[in-house]
Structure 1
Amino acid sequence: MKIGVMTMRVLLAVATVLLAFSIAGAEMYQWVDENGAVTFKDTPPPASKKKKKVKVYRDNDFAPAPPPQPVSAKPTGKSAAAQVAQPAPSPQVHFTGTVELYVTSWCGYCKRAQSYLKSKGVPYVAYDIEQDSAARQRHKDLGGHGVPLIIIGSHKMNGFSPEEMDYYLNNGR
């Protein structure tokens, strides 16, 4: 019986020590040095490290997402004649610039987006945010939280969707 009480006290002491160390090390700091290396430490960055002003982009800085396409039934009778009489929609403005992609080498959706743009003959530039610190910073400045981050003119896409990409390519500036 004494062994059980002793074992319980040792386990309680070990648990207390582990809990104390886990609480003490709970706060982490991250900063980028002058060479572009990202540093993680449990102490604040040195006072000698310069703080950069960063442009913060908000969702309303970019054009809104495309509206959902209505599903229409095949018109018949008078309604069909009325629809035919409507003026033709204005021609679409096609995007003529270069698409920017912020990617990683291991991302399947990034590869699909690049392949899709290549198949459409759309010029693009892919920036690997793991290999290029300047691209990583631009990705962060643009509000990127994942990959791919796709910039088509003033439009920003998080993730890859062929339908959304077509919308921006066909209605872009």
Structure 2
Amino acid sequence: MQNLMKAYPSKAVALILSLSALLLISSQAQAQMYKWVGPNGKIVYSDTPPPANAKKLASKNFESNSSVSTANLPPELAAVVSKNPVVLYTAPNCGACNEGRNLLKQAGIPFTEKTVKTNEDVDKLMQVSGDTALPYMQINKSKFKGLESNEWRAALAAAGYPETSKLPKDYRYSDPEPAAPQVAGEKKNADAKPQEAPKPKSTSSNGIRF
């Protein structure tokens, strides 16, 4: 390796960065998501097993950090995505959500988008953010409720994301997914009456606050 660095210093550095990123990505552990009914009758999603007396609904394996594929990303960007994944919660007919989505895409930030449409989605949003405000962005464990463009940009920079887009020209963002996806093997009850989420001030009909 030392001879390689002396002969081709720039190529050696690139090789080391690539290997480091691959090792970091491959070290991500598979975790498991559990779903059960809490004492108050509401559905709980968590990566920790439910209490022994809880009514278990289902569980599934999921990628512990991010569902964003890093296969075609530059090594430096792939490493940031793996360490500080970005998740964006949005809802239909939400102007601020559209602005937040556009901000991330224009900055070249790979992210996972989760849509809030159903009451289960609202429950999931409440669990991860403690509120119903949208858009909601999460960078690893840092939470950002509502769109504050300067705050978002500063947080992304602090997380290690580049100031200008490093995405390949052929990069395509994945389609949004439900905030509370149906777990395999779970059947939807079409006749069940959905629970209404609490409606804070200035909310939409389903309790989501913009």
Pair in the same fold by TM > 0.5:
no
* Pair member with larger Rg: 1
From the two aligned structures, give the one with the greater helix fraction: 1
From the two aligned structures, give the one with the greater strand fraction: 2
Higher relative contact order (CA 8 A, sep 6+): 1
